[in-house]
Amino acid sequence: MADPIQRPQARPVGDAPSGAVSAEVKCCAEVATFEGSPAASKVYGLDPKTCLAPSDADTYWASGSVSGSVPSDRMTRDGARWASVGVGMETELEISFDDASAAGCIANSTFHMEPAHIASIETATVSSKRAIFRIKGQTEGDATLVVRCNGVDTGWFHVACLTQQLVTIETGSVITRRTKSVSYDVAAMKAYFDKVYRQAIIKIDIVDLGDIDLRGHPGIATLDVAESFYYDPLDPSGGMSIFNPEGRAAGGAAGHFGEVVLPIIDAMMGPLKKNRQRLLRYVPAAPYVSARNGVVPRIGEGPGVVFKEYPDADTGHNVLCHEYGHIKGLVHPEVSGTDQLPQHLTDSCNQPVPAYAGTNTEMASPASPADPIVMALDPLNLMGYWPVIADQTPLRRDQWMKLRE
């Protein structure tokens, strides 16, 4: 018969454990990297070039696992991306974990914005090896999003949070006895400008001035007759010497347009209001053809002018965006001594260009011979001279800042 009395268990042998209780060690995904979202409308600026690592071995993910911590200097060349976001606006990135990472460990990653007040983290957890990651801008400044597990930083990207700026561009066709009216789509121009300049959190409005007819203006009529002077900038041969920048007497387009035509237009149209610029079309009629795409006689001030029509609308819009960059003070990449691009990019001018695979935010580009006006490390930069003009849309972190001055 069973004993109805429940007997006490034997007393454990040995002393009770002492000392602090250690936290549970969780498994961790090894490395987290970031690119722009595959949904273009969800991305503002995504810059993989400012912190471009000198070699694959210098990337923070080179060894397949990260055992250190995010660097204090956000310009460290470790492969980290820069992302822009507007105050009160959300941007999306695509987070990817190393292929060797165990899927069940990814959810143990935590996300930290440092400093926390610059932007908020809208994606609390991630459980798949590739996922959308969202942040929202809170106040102007720079920050770093850090992925962390068991006290180890396993990935990061940097954030530039900026207040959205609103800019108006006035555009139109300048008509003389030698230049013609050209057609353009204002809505398509605005959409393209917004696509490019959203990288710097700048929103563009376009005001159409229509045809600016100078044929009867007394300041133009006399010059119209002197074709050898008036048309030095518009040569049917397309020779580059016609744009000698040394002045009008040498056939300088900047001198002619800046000193003669623009003052007349300014007098006709009135002074520009705050946060407005003029970007005009000054396209020669047949048989004349301009050798240059456009010019901004006074870099950093404007106005600007383009001299050509293009059968491809995106190419034409890109040329306009490039010239607007000059109006806002951006210079070509081969210009030394500026703070608009990191030196490792500008130093790569006149070096052989490697092939680049396309990403969610940038076009693929083939290998190309060295060119003094193309950055081998950033061939598609908006302010460069890549042969496929429409592919030149990216801007980099310091260019974002220059555009906003």
Nearest to 175 by CA among 229, 206, 220, 218: 220
- How many Cβ atoms sit within 10 Å of the Cβ of residue 282? 29
What does each of the 405 residues of the chain score in pLDDT, given as a tens digit? 444 434 334 444 445 445 454 456 689 888 999 999 999 999 999 999 999 999 999 999 986 666 668 999 999 999 999 999 999 999 999 999 987 778 889 999 999 999 999 999 999 889 899 999 999 999 999 999 999 998 899 999 999 999 999 999 999 999 987 789 999 999 999 999 999 999 999 999 999 999 999 888 877 765 554 433 333 444 444 333 333 333 333 344 445 666 677 788 888 888 888 889 999 998 888 777 777 788 888 889 888 889 888 989 999 999 999 999 999 999 999 887 788 999 999 999 999 999 999 999 999 999 999 999 999 999 999 999 999 999 999 999 999 999 999
Spell out the domain ranges in the chain: 32-162, 165-327
- How many Cβ atoms sit within 10 Å of the Cβ of residue 47? 27
Q: What is the pLDDT of residue 179?
A: 83
Q: Class for domain 32-162, per CATH?
A: mainly beta
What is the chain's length? 405
C-beta of residue 362 within 8 angstroms of C-beta of residue 377:
no
| 106 vs 103: CA distance, rounded Å | 6
Burial of 204 (0-12, 13-18, 19+ CB in 10 A): buried
Question: Domain 165-327 carries which CATH code?
Answer: 3.40.390
Q: Is there a shared CATH topology between the 32-162 domain and the 165-327 domain?
A: no
> Whole-prediction pTM value?
0.86
Question: Torsion-angle region of residue 153: left (phi > 0), alpha (psi -120 to 50) or beta?
Answer: beta
Torsion of CA 212, 168, 283, 258, to 10 degrees: 80
Q: What is the pLDDT of residue 63?
A: 67
> CA Rg, the chain, in Å?
29
| 350 vs 119: CA distance, rounded Å | 39
Return the DSSP state at 340. Answer: S
Bridge partners of 119, per DSSP, are 137
SS3 97: strand
Q: What is the pLDDT of residue 284?
A: 81
Q: What is the pLDDT of residue 132?
A: 96
Residue 147 host element (H or E):
strand 141-149
Pair of tokens at residue 317? 């819009």
